[in-house]
Chains A and B, each alone.
Chain A
Amino acid sequence: MRRTIGLLVTLACIILGAPLAAEAPPSAKVARIGYLSVGGALDRP
């Protein structure tokens, strides 16, 4: 009996926890670009 309750609690935790895990925002990666120029309007040479 105690074992069955334990299993049910574990199962409930998994079911309730799953949506939370799915909804957790992904750690969005922001790519960082460096733009190097000599300056001036034409950016040349």
Chain B
Amino acid sequence: MTEAFRQGLHELGYVEGHNIAIEFRAAEGSDRLPALAAELVQLPVDVIVARSTDAAQAAKTTTTTVPIVMVVDADPVATGLVASLARPGGNLTGLTTVATGLGSKRLELLKEAVPSLSRVAVLWNAGSDAMTLIFREIQTAAPALGVSVQPVGVQAAKDLDNAFATMTEERADALFMITDVLTRPYTQQVVDFAAKRQLPTMFEGKDPVAAEGPVAAGGLMSYGSSLTDQLRRAASYVDRLLKGAKPADLPVEQPMKFELVINLKTAKELGLTLPPTLLFQADEVIR
């Protein structure tokens, strides 16, 4: 994942060990983030890149002077990281992979694929404020599309079995999975569960890590921005900050490009005939 960030730096003329050094700190969970942020500040570093809402929050709490570039998956205004996207203020700026109306758009696409959709189960990490924001956006958008939401929040891996049981009992018409560090390892299980229950699925986007994303693995569709692209663009923030720009003056960037991926094989197995208008919008169709 960090490769995209390194690539971005390289494109801007930075060579590791020559004119730039990167100190990586992975907390393996959120608890150690404040300690690791403090460690980076003490080194010291010139800029901190924070890859998540929790990491950005930890860095922001730790320092008011070292510039911070965040790459987050939730609305940074709603999570209190910045005052506004245009004028972030303080020592933090960066990029987000979400855009206004994304939850609504994903539901619209799902409804286009499944016109009879009236109830969608949403699986997400309820222990994460950032992921809960994404869930709430879907929940808010649903009524306008004539869809009700079945919340299936999990807080630990052990909750997954209960989540599957709940979804089986309260049968929904489709399943929407919000991917994060907790739910991602279970993507294949979710895909298999959905196939067994004949549930159309919507995922947030192509998996930037796995060679095969959730749709290639058998999910019906995904729609989202490219995290890899956002990480590469984070390098340009680092570059500008190193050249003296002030974080408060650099607007937070939202994604401009989104990718729709559809698996036609899965659609056939589900007995769905996808309208040409939907297929026309797809960036990738798996046959």
Contacts and interface: CB of A to CB of B under 8 A. Distances in A.
A36 B1 contact: no
Interface string B214-250: 0000000000000000000000001000100000000
B36 interface: yes
Contact of B43 (A28, A34, A42, A44): A34
Query: Would you call the interface of chain A mostly helix, strand, loop, or mixed?
Result: loop
A35 B26 CA distance: 8
B74 interface: yes
A38 B47 contact: no
Contacts of A23: none
B59 interface: yes
A31 interface: yes
A44 B52 contact: yes
B157 to A, nearest CB: 12
Contacts of A38: 26-30, 33, 51-52, 54-55, 181
Interface string B122-137: 0001001011000000
B19 interface: yes
A43 B130 CA distance: 13
A31 B51 contact: no
Contact of B184 (A28, A32, A39, A41): A41
A4 interface: no
B136 to A, nearest CB: 15
B23 A45 contact: no
A33 B54 contact: no
Interface size range of chain B in the complex: 35 or more
Contact of A45 (B2, B44, B53, B66): B53
A29 interface: yes
Nearest to B20: A31
Contacts of B2: 35, 43
Nearest to A29: B19
Contacts of B18: 28, 30
A36 B40 contact: yes
A41 B45 contact: no
A37 interface: yes
Contacts of B58: 36
Contacts of A43: 1-2, 26, 51-52, 181
Contact of A34 (B25, B29, B74): B25
A25 interface: no
B93 interface: no
Interface of A: 28-45
